[in-house]
A = this chain, B = another copy of it.
Amino acid sequence: MPVVDLNCDLGEGFGDWRMGDDAAMLGIVSTVNVACGFHAGDPQIMADTFAAAKKAGVAIGAHTAYPDLQGFGRRPLPYSPREIERLVAYQLGAAMGVAALAGHRITHVKAHGSLGNRATEDVSAAEAIARATKSVDRGLVILAIAGTEIERAAERLGVKAIREIFADRAYTTKGNLVPRSQPGAVIHDAKLAAQRVLAMLKAGAIIADDGTKIPTGIDSICVHGDTPGAVAMAASVRQALSEAGYTVQAFAS
């Protein structure tokens, strides 16, 4: 019986602010990427999120980002690879510390927002993330957008890469995400999203909007947790996976 992971971002509040329906998402996904205080999150939210994930049997990762609460980590900031290494090591360590206190364990690192986008095509930035991950704990894996530089950087440095595809984003012929500014970039129909995910899993490939197939291993499906309809979309994808015979399970379990 085939196995696949279903992941989303979580713990993206700060202080009294919240984003998304974390409790609902924990009932659907198998892995969550938890904000580490740089683009969102704080020690209290992190601890509560890790404890809730533990209780729900959901795996946790450090969702590392540029230090940018004001911009939610979505703005390009001029950090050098050397600085990125340190930002990632700091956040990853912090997440491991809080997870230990909360009785759970960090299994992976994912790069968020602008840092994550950069790591798909900037080799030095991608290697910085992989280097930091490896330095802090050799047993960790990197959750990487399938077919991008961060996947290759992880492999080059001997860090296992878990390859993810997006349930609700269209792909270009080259296998990149269609920019959000273009029509059709984001898929809002939960059923359609679920069908696309199944098609890509079956094909062992990313399927571009013109039908082109870019072969890749697919270990995880990424769903969003903070958009309108996020919970319904995630549930739809999960149900489709189950009905198609997939076991939804954290890659690290």
Contacts and interface: CB of A to CB of B under 8 A. Distances in A.
B19 A19 contact: no
A233 interface: no
User: In the assembly, how many copies of this chain are there?
Assistant: 4
A44 B14 contact: no
Contacts of A136: 96-97, 100-101
Contacts of A100: 89, 93, 135-137
22 contacts: A14-B17, A14-B69, A15-B69, A15-B70, A37-B90, A43-B87, A46-B86, A46-B90, A75-B77, A85-B101, A89-B98, A91-B97, A92-B97, A93-B94, A93-B95, A93-B98, A94-B94, A96-B96, A97-B132, A101-B131, A101-B132, A101-B135
Interface in A110-148: 131-132, 135-137
Contacts of A15: 69-72
A98 B64 CA distance: 14
Interface size class of A (residues with CB under 8 A): 35 or more
B94 A44 contact: no
A83 B75 CA distance: 14
A81 interface: no
A217 interface: no
A67 B17 CA distance: 16
Contacts of A245: none
Closest 6 CB pairs of A and B: A93-B97, A17-B17, A94-B94, A43-B86, A89-B101, A43-B90
Interface in A34-67: 37, 42-44, 46-47, 67
A39 to B, nearest CB: 9
Given A96-B93, A98-B86, A78 B78 contact: no
